[in-house]
Structure formats: structure tokens, C-alpha cells
Amino acid sequence: MKAMRDLPKNVDADAVIEIGRYLDDQGKGAPVSIADAIRIVRKTAGTKLTAVELEELILECAAARHLAVVLDSRDWSAVASF
């Protein structure tokens, strides 16, 4: 049996429920935008989780549903320069 990771100390059950609803409403054909998911979950759940915490939860929930994601929530130009 696979062990679950530790949840953030300030985990917000409403945010987790909204993430699940949002992902369940997405079609499997198109990837899920992380930026859009964060914006919508913030609006509907009114959570105080940080963007990074929301991103982690969304990624884990999307992975459990075998959904493709678009990693568009950060400015990656500052991280990698080729």
C-alpha cells in the first residue's frame, strides 16, 4: 500500500473539495491549466493556502486522476536559462 505524503499544516478541506470538483469537471482531452485551477479554487473556496501549496495539491489530485497539466503558474524564465 502506498503511503500518502504529509499534508500542509494549514490544509483547507474546502480547497481540497473544490480542487476535486474542478478537476472532475475537466475533460480528459485537454490539459488542466494550473494557473486557472489556482484562480478558480481561490475564488470558490476562499482559501488562505499559498499558490505553491495549491499548486502541489492540484498536481497531486490531477496525477491521481491521470490528467495532463500545463505548468503555467510560475515564471520559469528566472529558473532556467538555455
Please identify which residue in the block is written with the cell numbers 488542466.
32
Q: In this predicted structure, what is the pLDDT of residue 82?
A: 47
**pTM score of the predicted model:** 0.79
What residues contact 71, with CB distance under 8 A and at least 6 apart? 34
Structural contact between residues 37 and 19, judged by C-beta atoms closer than 8 angstroms: yes
Q: How much is the average pLDDT of 66-71?
A: 93
The dihedral region occupied by 63, where left means phi > 0, alpha psi between -120 and 50, and beta the remainder, is alpha
pLDDT category at 19 given cuts 50, 70, 90 is very high
Domains and CATH numbers, the chain: 13-71 (1.10.10.2390)
pLDDT category at 73 given cuts 50, 70, 90 is confident
